[in-house]
Amino acid sequence: MDLKQIFKTANPVIGVVHLLPLPTSPRWGGSLKSVIDRAEQEATALASGGVDGVIVENFFDAPFPKDQVDPAVVSAMSLVVQRLMHLVTLPVGINVLRNDARSAMAIATCVQAHFIRVNVLTGVMATDQGLIEGQAHQLLRYRRELGSDVKILADVLVKHARPLGAPNLTTAVQETIERGLADGVILSGWATGSPPSLEDLELASAAANGTPVFIGSGANWDNIPQLIQAADGVIVSSSLKRRGQVEQPIDPIRVSQFVEAMRRSLSLKEQSTMSSSVAVPS
């Protein structure tokens, strides 16, 4: 996966648009216009704050089905994402929670979005929705059938879940890439808003062997200087919300602060790489 080709940078910041409850979800408010208006405000705030890409999630549809969402959710997300793609010029991705990768692929292909996020691509995870089995074989064949070039970013040992059995992180990353054919992998902490450890990111990056590794949760302007040293990009949401609270809308000032912290960190990382590559005279 060529990050520069998609995001115009090798180290993208991807901001998340959390959609208000959609039709058929328990907290659906009855107005798709309200959903679209909020999504447009958030996408605009992310774009004006300087992010490199946006991913759209049906985050407030909880509790989620573990695999297939209702067709009304697919229809609503297609409409919303197409509106956002006309509003901002950034690359757009889709995550259909909890693990409806086929619907995400269908939406992304039809609206010409760039990538999807899949929580469980390979293996079996015990979650609050029950046991979720990876369906990499179905998804990859479906992408081929659609004639699609939408990229697949896959979580490894995803948050809010525990693996059945005890695969170590290195093996999980390798299998997600080599057997699941993920275009990039995502590493999160144990829950929404909690970051992965630097040690786990270093292990994942080593195992990924050049395939992009994204920080999937918990990044903020305080920890990104350290975490980005062992990752290629970051997907960020909670810390960009007003007061850092996940139910609040995106705050463009907090977006700008995060993007600036990321860019400073990358500049320092580049300087460090350059100085370490200078040969020391004997």
CA distance 269 to 2: 20
The CA dihedral of 148, 43, 21, 220, to the nearest 10 degrees, is 100
122 assigned to some structural domain = yes
HSE at residue 253, side-chain half, CA atoms within 13 A, is: 3
- The reply to whether 39 falls in a domain is yes
Structure tokens at 185: 């992998």
User: The domain spanning residue 243 has which CATH number?
Assistant: 3.20.20.70
Give, as one character, the DSSP assignment of residue 61: G
Q: Which domain holds residue 112?
A: 3-272
In a domain, 80, yes or no: yes
Instruction: Determine, yes or no, domain membership for 277.
Output: no
Give the full edge-to-edge strand order of the sheet including 130-133: 130-133, 124-127, 161-163
Looking at the domain assignment, is residue 278 inside a domain?
A: no
Single pTM value for the model: 0.92
How far is the C-alpha of 29 from the C-alpha of 48, rounded, in Å? 28
Q: Is residue 281 part of a domain?
A: no
Does residue 58 form part of some domain? yes
Give how many domains the chain has, as a whole number: 1
With respect to residue 34, please indicate whether it lies within any of the assigned structural domains: yes
How does pLDDT run along the chain (282 residues), one tens digit per residue? Answer: 899 999 999 999 999 999 999 999 999 999 999 999 999 999 999 999 999 999 999 999 999 998 899 999 999 999 999 999 999 999 999 999 999 999 999 999 999 999 999 999 999 888 888 898 999 999 999 999 999 999 999 999 876 777 786 578 999 999 999 999 999 999 988 777 789 999 999 999 999 999 999 999 999 999 999 999 999 999 999 999 999 999 999 999 999 999 999 999 988 777 776 766 655 555
Alpha carbon of residue 114 to chain centroid = 12
